[in-house]
Amino acid sequence: MTPRLIRAPSRTVHSRVYDSRVWERWQPRGDDIIIGTYAKVGTTWTQRIVCMLVFQSVKPRPLMEVSPWFDMRREPPPLDWRFKTAEAQTHRRFLKTHLPYDAVPVYDGVKFIHVARDGRDAAMSFHNHLFNFTPAMKENFDAISLADPKFRDRLPAIPEDPADYFGQWLEWDGDGQGDAGAGFFHVENSYWAARNDPNMLMVHYADLKADREGEMRRIADFLGITIPESLWPSLVKAAGLDEMRQEAKAAGGMDFAFKGGADTFFNKGINGRWQGVFRDDDLAAYDARVKREFSPELAHWLERGRLAR
């Protein structure tokens, strides 16, 4: 039985990379899990954690298959394949989105995990991600943008210098993909507004770094998943950055998208690398934007996480 719709989307996001309208094809199940994030804040990390909790196993599984990403416009994998894959799954489903909370429908029983990170760290990591697209990946997104009447252009060029990119990122509202609704500031505000809803769990990258096991147990509790105590040490170890990088390298597939493959995708995983890199005037502009756009509580949480508070 299809669960009851609690809230329809209140906005549409249509960028060069994301399209929220495809969620109209989603056939929800009452125990679905949606991992909703801005890019480069620990999304894949959280998908891997949830995967191990759902299957109660450290066995590597291809996340693109077990955790479909509907709203990504790039193919492969084809959109029809993603929906057919999700419909055929018999395990508890955990889906990925980079859309803001107000751009996806909310159904009774469906749980959301929102992962966040300091915007400066996210921008630093996003620069590495975008700048290292392979020519094939760029051509794929360029073809989408050129064929779209909304854009009719190529994906914006990414400067080599991360400081130059951060200046652009600020001008683009933390987006650059063609819809500010998918930008950092709107995404974080949208999830923060729902932080106290019973279907929402807020997770911070810094907390995962500081207490991986504690945050993994917190996620399991939120999802109502009981893990035998004997399994926890292996699950926690397998959720390490080095372990995930090696698994991704063994699985292959990332060389199509990124120069350097898995080594590029799972880059440093270190917070604060923007210090001494971004320009002072841009950092001041970021601080002003944070003060203008975010409540003090949200700003503090994004900068430091829950545990630091």
Q: What is the pLDDT of residue 251?
A: 54
What the block records as the tokens of 185 is 């500031």
Phi/psi zone of residue 57: left (φ > 0), alpha (ψ -120 to 50 degrees), beta? beta
Bridge-based pairing of strands 5-7 and 106-107 is antiparallel
Domain 5-304: give its CATH superfamily. P-loop containing nucleotide triphosphate hydrolases (3.40.50.300)
Q: List residues bridging with 96 in a β-sheet.
A: 35, 69
CA distance linking residue 251 with residue 258, whole number of Å: 14
- What are the residue ranges of helices labelled H in 90-134? 119-131
Kindly tell me the sign of the dihedral angle through the C-alpha atoms of 200, 203, 204, 207: positive
Burial class of residue 224 (count of CB atoms within 10 Å of its CB; 0-12, 13-18, 19+): exposed
What the block records as the tokens of 97 is 């989105």
Q: What is the pLDDT of residue 266?
A: 47
- What are the residue ranges of helices labelled H in the chain? 43-55, 63-66, 79-88, 119-131, 135-147, 162-171, 184-192, 205-210, 212-223, 232-238, 241-251, 262-265, 280-293, 296-304
Indicate the Cα dihedral angle 61, 16, 260, 38, nearest 10°: -60
CB 260 within 8 A of CB 132: yes
**Tens digit of pLDDT for each residue in 110-119?**
999 999 999 9
Q: Residue ranges of the domains in the chain?
A: 5-304
Nearest Cα neighbor of 103 from 177, 157, 180, 166 is: 180
Q: List residues bridging with 113 in a β-sheet.
A: 35, 201
Residues of the chain with pLDDT under 50: 261, 264-266
Match 């992962």 to its residue by tokens: 115
Q: What is the pLDDT of residue 114?
A: 98
Q: State in Å, rounded, how far the first CA of the chain is from the last one.
A: 41
CB 300 within 8 A of CB 204: no
CA distance linking residue 82 with residue 97, whole number of Å: 13
Q: What is the pLDDT of residue 263?
A: 53
Helix, strand, coil share of the chain (percent; to 5): 50, 10, 40
**What is the CB-side half-sphere exposure of residue 153 using CA atoms within 13 A?**
9
SS3 label, residue 136: helix
CA distance linking residue 256 with residue 136, whole number of Å: 7
Nearest Cα neighbor of 43 from 124, 117, 109 is: 117
For residue 100, give every residue at least 6 positions away whose Cβ sits within 8 Å of its Cβ, in sequence order, or none. 11, 13, 36, 181, 182, 186, 187, 189, 190, 191
